């Protein structure tokens, strides 16, 4: 059966099997040992906001993005939902609950389901309020204007932005900077990431955009998958280096 596969197919199959092997190994290691503490500025910045929110009785404001199905379906636009779930588990019974804003109708519905599920899982369905997850605008400018208008509230502890964003989000970051409100951005769009460098906000880049939830929740399955990704990345790098050497040596056609 393997003889009918092309070289590219065999390499893809080998990488897939290696990824599963690394995942199983890391799961077994995490069951035996406690995960080591690795300093991560982005994760620690989010945790600091959570502590401030709990101690001072203030709320965290989360912007989940403005594009999931508006222009074209883009799954990366939902990257903020997992982060929202992790934050809810840590701030569910704060004086001011987590407040989220979406710029896409489908994203707002999914966000409300996440919030409802978090309260129901904590056996506190009576505390659920639909206004905790709002649709604040269906265009980039309307979404940003609504979000920026909410930032000056003195009961806010910090601003977290995730998902697909346009450069217009720069206005919300500027508003947060003017009111000395700590801001953290985890944009999956390149234009949004460019805007995230504005002011004093912490800007997550690359894989941290999608791994923020796993690092924050510290679940063994998430940590094992992150570690497996690192090992698989090393294996791919070694394979590419060996392939280049064999190609230059004339071993490979």
Instruction: Write out the two tokens for 115.
Output: 């919030």
Supply the pLDDT for residue 39.
Answer: 45
Q: How confident is the model at residue 223 (pLDDT cuts 50, 70, 90)?
A: low
Question: Higher model confidence: residue 48 or residue 7?
Answer: 48
Task: Look up residue 149 and give its two tokens.
Answer: 């208008």
Out of 108-117, 150-159, 181-190, pick the least confident.
181-190
For 136, the enclosing helix (H) or strand (E) is none
Residue 131 · residue 96 · CB < 8 Å: no
**Do residues 162 and 80 make contact, with C-beta atoms less than 8 angstroms apart?**
yes
Q: Give the pLDDT confidence of 195-210 residue by residue, as tens digits.
A: 877 777 777 766 565 5
Task: Answer for the pair 122, 76: CB distance below 8 angstroms, yes or no.
Answer: no
Q: Map out the domains of the chain with their CATH numbers.
A: 41-217 (3.40.50)
2 pLDDT band, cuts 50/70/90, is very low
Determine how β-strand 99-102 pairs with β-strand 133-135: parallel
Q: What is the mean pLDDT of the chain?
A: 76
Q: Tell me the β-bridge partners of 202.
A: 184
Is 35 a residue whose pLDDT tops 60? no
C-beta of residue 70 within 8 angstroms of C-beta of residue 111: no
Q: Are 201 and 184 in contact (CB under 8 A)?
A: yes
Please say if the pLDDT value at position 213 is more than 60: no
Q: What are the structure tokens assigned to 116, written together? A: 């409802």
Q: What are the b/e assignments for 17-41, b being 16+ CB within 10 Å?
A: ebbeebbeebbeebeeeeeeeeeee
Categorize the per-residue pLDDT at 108 as very low, low, confident or very high, splitting at 50, 70 and 90. Answer: confident
**Residue % of the chain over a pLDDT of 70:** 69
Q: Given this model, what pLDDT does residue 86 score?
A: 81
CB atoms within 10 A of CB 221: 13
| Averaged pLDDT, 31-51 | 61
Q: For the residues 12-39, what does the mean pLDDT come to?
A: 61
Give the separation between CA 87 and CA 61, rounded to whole angstroms: 11
Strands in 24-98 per DSSP E: 59-63
Tell me whether residue 83 is exposed, middle or buried, using C-beta atoms within 10 angstroms of its C-beta: 0 to 12, 13 to 18, 19 or more: buried
């Amino acid at each position: 059966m393997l003889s009918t596969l092309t070289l590219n197919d065999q390499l893809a199959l080998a990488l897939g099997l290696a990824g599963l092997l690394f995942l199983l190994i890391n799961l077994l290691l995490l069951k035996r040992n406690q995960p080591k503490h690795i300093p991560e500025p982005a994760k620690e910045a989010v945790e600091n906001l959570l502590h401030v929110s709990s101690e001072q009785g203030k709320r965290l404001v989360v912007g989940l993005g403005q594009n999931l199905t508006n222009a074209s379906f883009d799954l990366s636009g939902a990257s903020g939902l997992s982060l929202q779930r992790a934050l809810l588990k840590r701030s569910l019974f704060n004086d001011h609950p987590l407040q989220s804003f979406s710029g896409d109708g489908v994203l707002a519905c999914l966000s409300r389901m996440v919030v409802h599920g978090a309260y129901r899982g904590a056996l506190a369905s009576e505390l659920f309020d639909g206004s905790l997850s709002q649709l604040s605008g269906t265009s980039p400018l309307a979404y940003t204007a609504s979000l920026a208008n909410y930032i000056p509230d003195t009961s806010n502890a910090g601003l977290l932005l995730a998902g697909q964003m346009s450069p217009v989000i720069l206005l919300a970051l500027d508003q947060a900077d003017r009111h000395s409100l700590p801001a953290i951005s985890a944009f999956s769009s390149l234009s949004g990431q460019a805007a995230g460098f504005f002011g004093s906000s912490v800007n997550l880049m690359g894989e941290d955009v999608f791994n923020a939830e796993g690092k924050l929740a510290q679940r063994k399955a998430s940590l094992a998958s992150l570690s497996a990704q690192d090992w698989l990345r090393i294996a791919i790098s070694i394979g590419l280096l060996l392939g280049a050497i064999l190609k230059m040596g004339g071993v490979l056609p």
